[in-house]
Amino acid sequence: MKGQLKAPRIIDALIPLLFLIVLLIINIQIFGNDSLSGSNQMVLIFSAVVAASIAVFRLGFSWDTLQEGIVKSISSAMGAILILFLIGALAGTWLMSGIVPAMIYYGLEVLSPEIFLFAACFISSVVSVATGSSWTTVATVGVALLGIGKALGFEEGIIAGAIISGAYFGDKMSPLSDTTNLAPAMAGTDLFTHIKYMAKTTTPTMIITLLLFIIIGLNYETAGSVEDVKAISEAISAKFNITGWLFIVPLVVLVMIVKRVPAIPALLTGALLGGVFALIFQPEIVKMVANDTGSFAYLGFKAVMMSLYGKIAIVTENDIVNELLVTGGMAGMLDTIWLIICAMVFGGIMEESGMLKVLAEAIIAKVHSVGSLIASTAATCVFFNITTSDQYLAILVPGRMYADVYRKRGLKPENLSRTLEDSATVTSVLVPWNTCGATQASVLGVATLTYAPYCFFNIISPIMTILYGYLEIGIHYYEPEEELV
């Protein structure tokens, strides 16, 4: 059977990709932000059908072989899916316990509109460097910052852009980050050489990003007022028992992440502790969520379970606050998980049939200068973020593809590892059907295409690394004696 398989041509690989892009554009124009509720998922399935048809009827693959590729692709996303479920559960108990409302309450006390966007980006970057996780950062302090920003009168897209910019700075630079460890492993360099070399492009990118948010903040006409902020704070304090003791829970989660406790047990601990703190500090909220009669033990168990798995809404007399105090629990993540699975079906077929590989090889064939090599690497990473819908594959596959090319050009591996992070890690969150883009849109409740234009750090990073390549700034070459080794 293997001998009967045909090698895919460029046109074979382009057909399902172009079909996907065109249909997604049409789909988003028709459904807008509601496209994540099911229509984007169907577009990915239709595109997978096109790819499978080419693989079976033209290239000679059996369906069983393609199905193995699909299962392998979905399996690679299972960790992300489990984390998504736990983020939903954590959001539920942290709302009911008053943790997120407390973050919003205290944040409104200290953050002014002029510095808010800068502060949101900076705070997110610090937390993300400490934890090594953009997902944890966005799901915890990011959710609170979004609420603060909306209360101050900022549009949700620009708030989310500031949060994500900071979160992905940390995800890119922290030695605790999985992508920061994966990229040098694929390129063939060590972790701290990678981080030190990556700082050359990342530092100016982050400075530009922070300056942009300062400029926007100073010139932004917010819809909120001092009276609105005061009313929001009063509504929160009237409904919840606001106390500093609530911050023990996020502190425990952050310490666990810093101590290299895996994300799944850390998030599960945070979600369960949130339920415990709800019983201790917010008994009236617990009774309201349970909406039943009986002993407090019965009501507490029911309310905690409801906050873990389903939608809860805390109602106050302030409409703005009511919009902030809603969460979907685990069930609220199902659309995102559905999207990820459908994306992995498409990516699995494209990978298994060799169509992704032939497209990548065509790009490599056009490379001549150092600048074009780095630009091609960045483009390939973005391409894999779009087609495989997975940040890790966007690092792994180009890393394997280009490692030998860089070495033959006399370029040290840190050139490749930096480019992988400058392009694959940060652009994943800009793709609506990528696991990262889908996740952050779901966690923040802001559509990917709404926040993407304001993710300045994520947009500038690949441009910066390409610019460095063409200008040959900070490019490390092998010495003659090193090339002989």
294-322 residue pLDDT tens: 999 999 999 999 999 999 999 888 877 78
Could you state, in order of their start, the residue ranges of all structural domains in the chain?
Answer: 79-332
Output the CA–CA distances (angstroms, integers) from residue 293 to 95, 130, 149, in the order listed: 22, 44, 37
The closest of 28, 1, 22, 27 to 452, measured between CA atoms, is 28
Q: Give this prediction's pTM.
A: 0.72
Average pLDDT over residues 333-346: 82
Helices (H), 220-309: 226-239, 248-258, 263-281, 283-290, 296-309
Residue that is written with structure tokens 């701290």 in the block: 192
Number of C-beta neighbours around residue 319 at 10 A: 8
Answer yes or no: are the C-beta atoms of 380 and 390 closer than 8 Å.
no
Residues 147-172 have pLDDT tens digits of: 888 888 899 999 999 999 999 998 88
Nearest to 313, CA basis, from 445, 217, 187 = 445
Q: In this predicted model, what pLDDT tens digit does every residue of 175-234 receive, in sequence order?
A: 767 777 778 877 778 877 888 889 999 999 999 999 999 999 988 876 655 566 678 788
Per-residue confidence band for 483, with pLDDT thresholds at 50, 70 and 90: low
